[in-house]
Structure 1
Amino acid sequence: MSSSSILAEKTDQAVAELRDAELDGWLTFARETHNLGEPCLPLVLGEGFVWPGMVLLTATGRKIAITETHDADNVRAHGVHEVYPYESSLQSAFHEVLDEVEPKRLGLNYSKANPTADGLSLGLYEQLREYIDASDHRIELVSAAPIVESVRGRKSETETERIQGAVDTAHGILREVQTEWRPEWTEAETAAFVHERVADLGLVTSWDAETCPAVTAGVEGEYGHAKPGDVTIPPGEVMRIDFGVIREEYASDMQRVYYHQPAGETEIPDGLRSDFDDARDAIRAGFDALEPGVQGYEVDAAAREYLTERGWPEYQHGLGHQVGRYVHDGGTYLGPQWDRYGDAPYGEVREGEVYTLELGIQTDYGSISLEEMVQVTADGARFMTEQQTDPWVLDAN
C-alpha cells in the first residue's frame, strides 16, 4: 500500500487535525481488506488486514495498531505505530488500549456523502459497539468524515510529487497520440495505442481500461465515458480523449482535444478557435475562483456562468472532483447545488487539495471537452497540467 514516508506524513497530519476537531481519537476498524477494501487504510496503516484489526490515532499523538499476530510484522516494518498484537481475542487487546487512552469521543469511518470516508461496515460497527459495551468505558461515537476529508484531501509533499509524476506521464502519452496518429485510426485503435504505451511503462489506467481512455471522434462520436468504437475522425472535425494513469499509487485525469486538419489547410478555422477559446476560458474562470475557504459550488458557478453568458447550454455535471489515490477521491466537489451531489458542493476548499477542472461543449466540429488538474495554494491555485491553449493539430498531409 503506502510508503513509510507517506504513512508518517499522513498520520502526523491526522493527529494535528484531531487536536482541532474535539475528538480524542480516530478509529479505523477493518477486516479481510483484500475482499472488503477500507479506503482509509493506506493513509493510517500502510497495509491491509487479513484478520480483523484496528488503527487508533489519538489527539495526544499516539499511533496504535491492533493486529492479529500474523499481520503485526508488516505493520511494524513501517516504524510508525505502536503495535498491539493479539492471538485469540481482538476485544481483549482493544480493552487494553481503551484502559490506556481513556477516550470519551471517537471518530469512525462512516459518511452519508463521501464514499472514501465510509469504509466501516454495519457488521463491524455493531461488533465495535459490543466491544465498547463490554468495557468499563462509555464513548461517544461520531463520524470521522471531516478528518478523513482533510487528511485525504490536503496532499503532503510526497503525495504532490507522485501526483505530478502521474500527470506528466499521462500528458506525455497524450502528446504521443498527436505525433503517432494515423487518419485510418478508429476510436478503438487510438485507445489501443494508449494502452500499449501504458503497458510499456508498467503502469495501469486511472479507471477501468475499457473506458480509459474515453475517445470521442468527430461529430458522430459518443460523448462521455463510452467505450471507444469504430468511428474515425473526419477531416475538419475534432477528437477528444479523457485519460489518466496511476503512478506510484496516485492518479491523474485530463482531457485533450485534437483537430484533424484537412489537406491544404494551414490555420485552425476561426469558428473552431472561438468555440475552443470559450471552453478554455470557462475553465480559467473556475481556476480564478478557486482558493482556500470558498465552497465548491462557487467555483463551479464561475465557470458555468462564463459559458452560459456566451450562449452555451449548461454542462450536465460538476466542474471538478478531487484526485489522489483514487481518480475520484471524495471530499469537496466543485459542482452545482443539485440533489444528486448531496453535501459535497457545500464543502470548503482547502490548501493542498488537488482538483480537476473539466467541462465540454458540443459544437459543429465535435465535442470540445477540456480537463486540467490543479492544486490549491495558500492564495489561489496552480496548474499541475500544462494547460491546453489551442487544439492539438493532427496533420495527415
Structure 2
Amino acid sequence: MTVSNIVREKTDQAVETLEETNVDAWITFGRDTADAPDPMQPLILGEEFIWPGMVLLTRGGRKIVICESHDAGNIQDLGLFDVRPYEESLESAFSEAIEEVDPETIAVNYSRSDSTADGLSHGLYLELEHYLEGTEYHDALTGAEDVIAGVRGRKSSTELERIQKAVDLAQEFLEQMRRSWQPSWSEADVAAFLHEQIDDHEIETAWERSMCPVVTAGAEADHGHAKPSSRTLPRGEVLRLDFGVVYEEYCSDMQRLYYYPEEGETSPPAELQSAFEDVRAAIAAGFDALEPGVEGHEVDRAARDVITERGWPEFKHGLGHQVGRRVHDGGAYLGPTWERYGEAPYREVSEGEVFTIELGIETQWGYLAQEEMARVTESGATYLTEPQRELKPLVEA
C-alpha cells in the first residue's frame, strides 16, 4: 500500500469529522517541514513543504493545497487535491481560496494539551492572522484539537492493518527471545537479541533504539525509563520487557513478564502468582470498560479501583494512551484527571481508536507491569495483542 492510500482515507475522514464537529474549514499550515513538521501533515498530505504551504479541507468536501510551484509536482501526482501553486506570495492564493470556501469557522493546529494537535508555529499563526486582517474571517480562527482527535484517533483500515502487523512482529520477536534466552544474558544482551530480529526484518524500534526495549532484570533493576544494563537475571526473579516496533510507519507497544525458576521449581511462588493475577485483573477491568462514548478517566478508574481494592497503591500514571504513527498518538487518554494530562482524560472514546492498557505494581520481585493493545469497536473493544494470561518461565535454551 502506498502513502496515497493513507492520505485518501484520512482526508475523506477529515471531511466527515468537520461535519461532526460543526467546523467549516481546517487548515494545516507549514514551512520547511523537513525540519519543523506538523504531526498531521504525513496523514493528510504525505509530502513536505519547502516554502510556506497549506492544506485546506472543508466540511463540503473540498481538498485544496496551496504551495510554492516547486513543491506542487509531487502533490499534483497524488491526484487527490486541487493544487494551487504560487510564485511570489501565498497570501493572494490563500485569500482567493478562503473567499471561495467562505467559512464561519476555521480550525488551525494549536492545542494546550495535545502535542499531535499543536503543530502550527507561533510565527505562522501570526502570519495567518495577518492574511485575515481586515477580512470577515479574522475572528473565525479556532483550535483544531477536536478535528485532529477524530482524524488521527480513529484509525482507517490501512492504518489498522499496519498496526496489527507491528503487533504481530513484536509478539513474534518476544517469543523468539524467550525460547533463545540464556542465564548468562544481561539486560543489554536481551536488547541486542531483539535488535537483531528488528534489523533482520529491516524495520525500526517504536521509540529510541537505545531504550527500546526497556529491559529490567530482577528486583534490583532500575524500573524507570533506563537503558539496558550489564545486569543478569538471578534465579527466582522476573524479567520485564517494554517493547514495540514500527511497521510501515505504524507502531506497537507492549510489556511482558517472564520468570526464571529456582532449581526444581515447577511454578512461580504463590505470592508472585497472586500479584501477577492482580495486575491481570486490573488490565481486564480496563479492557471491559473500554467502549465508545465513555470518557477516558472512567476507563482508568475501572482499572485503578481493582488494583487498590486488592490492596496495592494506585499506579502513578495513566492506564493507557493511543497508538498509531507514534507510540503516544494524542487524542483521548485513559488517565486520571490530573493537570499534567490536560483535557485528554475528559475526551470520549471513539470507535476505531487504538489504546494501550497498562499498569504495574511494586513487589519484592520488582516492578510487575503488563501492557496490552486494544482497538475500540462498535460494541466494546478487541485485543490486538495476545493477552499475557500466564507468567511464562524462562528456561535455558
Same fold by TM-score greater than 0.5: yes
Residues 337-378 of structure 1: per-residue CA shift (max 9 Å, x gap): 211111111111111100000011122222211000000011
Query: Aligned partners of 1:376 and 1:329: how far apart in 2?
Result: 15
Relative distance call for 1:205 and 1:281 in structure 2 (3 A) is same
Residues 57-112 of structure 1: per-residue CA shift (max 9 Å, x gap): 01110000011111111111221111001111111211221232222210000000
1:18-57 correspondence runs (5 A) = 18-57=18-57
Matching residue of 1:170: 170
Contact 2:245–2:251 under 8 Å retained in 1: yes
Residues 29-75 of structure 1: per-residue CA shift (max 9 Å, x gap): 00111111100101211111111100000111000001111111111
Residues 134-170 of structure 1: per-residue CA shift (max 9 Å, x gap): 6675451001110000110001111111100000011
Contact 1:245–1:253 under 8 Å retained in 2: yes
Moved over 6 A (4+): none
Contact 1:241–1:255 under 8 Å retained in 2: yes
Query: Aligned partners of 2:208 and 2:328: how far apart in 1?
Result: 13
Q: Does the alignment pair 1:384 with 2:380?
A: no
Contact 2:187–2:217 under 8 Å retained in 1: yes
Q: For 1:128, what is the secondary structure of its paired residue?
A: helix
Matching residue of 2:269: 269
Contact 1:188–1:229 under 8 Å retained in 2: yes
How many residue pairs are counted as aligned between the two chains? Answer: 397
Matching residue of 1:293: 293
Query: Aligned partners of 2:91 and 2:294: how far apart in 1?
Result: 43
Residue identity opposite 1:274 in structure 2: S
Matching residue of 1:240: 240
Contact 1:262–1:396 under 8 Å retained in 2: no
**Percent of paired sites with the same residue:** 55
Q: For 2:329, what is the secondary structure of its paired residue?
A: coil
Q: CA deviation at 1:268?
A: 2.6
Contact 2:9–2:156 under 8 Å retained in 1: yes
Q: For 1:395, what is the secondary structure of its paired residue?
A: coil
Query: Aligned partners of 1:285 and 1:137: how far apart in 2?
Result: 48
Matching residue of 2:144: 144
1:189-208 correspondence runs (5 A) = 189-208=189-208
Contiguous gaps of at least 5 residues in structure 1 = none
Matching residue of 2:109: 109
Matching residue of 1:364: 364
Q: For 2:394, what is the secondary structure of its paired residue?
A: strand
Query: Aligned partners of 2:138 and 2:126: how far apart in 1?
Result: 15
Contact 1:2–1:42 under 8 Å retained in 2: no
Query: Aligned partners of 2:171 and 2:61: how far apart in 1?
Result: 40
Matching residue of 1:123: 123
Matching residue of 1:6: 6
Query: Aligned partners of 2:22 and 2:306: how far apart in 1?
Result: 41
Query: Aligned partners of 2:286 and 2:220: how far apart in 1?
Result: 29
TM-score, length-scaled by structure 2? 0.97
1:61-72 correspondence runs (5 A) = 61-72=61-72
Query: Aligned partners of 1:22 and 1:390: how far apart in 2?
Result: 47
Matching residue of 1:350: 350
Q: For 1:127, what is the secondary structure of its paired residue?
A: helix
Residues 288-317 of structure 1: per-residue CA shift (max 9 Å, x gap): 111111111111111111011111111111
Query: Aligned partners of 2:98 and 2:332: how far apart in 1?
Result: 33
Contact 1:250–1:324 under 8 Å retained in 2: yes
Is 90-99 or 346-355 further displaced after alignment?
90-99
Matching residue of 1:395: 395
Matching residue of 2:280: 280
Contact 1:104–1:138 under 8 Å retained in 2: no
Query: Aligned partners of 2:342 and 2:102: how far apart in 1?
Result: 35
Query: Aligned partners of 2:151 and 2:47: how far apart in 1?
Result: 17
Relative distance call for 1:229 and 1:65 in structure 2 (3 A) is same
Residue identity opposite 1:291 in structure 2: E
Q: CA deviation at 1:396?
A: 2.5
Residue identity opposite 1:106 in structure 2: I
Q: For 2:211, what is the secondary structure of its paired residue?
A: coil
Q: CA deviation at 1:379?
A: 1.1
Is 138-147 or 162-171 further displaced after alignment?
138-147
Contact 2:129–2:138 under 8 Å retained in 1: no
Query: Aligned partners of 2:185 and 2:21: how far apart in 1?
Result: 55
Contiguous gaps of at least 5 residues in structure 2 = none
Q: For 2:94, what is the secondary structure of its paired residue?
A: helix
Query: Aligned partners of 2:178 and 2:352: how far apart in 1?
Result: 32
Is 252-261 or 20-29 further displaced after alignment?
20-29
Matching residue of 1:158: 158
Contact 2:180–2:396 under 8 Å retained in 1: no
Query: Aligned partners of 2:137 and 2:382: how far apart in 1?
Result: 47
Residue identity opposite 2:274 in structure 1: S
Q: Does the alignment pair 1:81 with 2:81?
A: yes
Query: Aligned partners of 2:363 and 2:305: how far apart in 1?
Result: 18
TM-score, length-scaled by structure 1? 0.97
Is 344-353 or 17-26 further displaced after alignment?
17-26
Q: For 1:292, what is the secondary structure of its paired residue?
A: coil
Q: CA deviation at 1:264?
A: 2.1
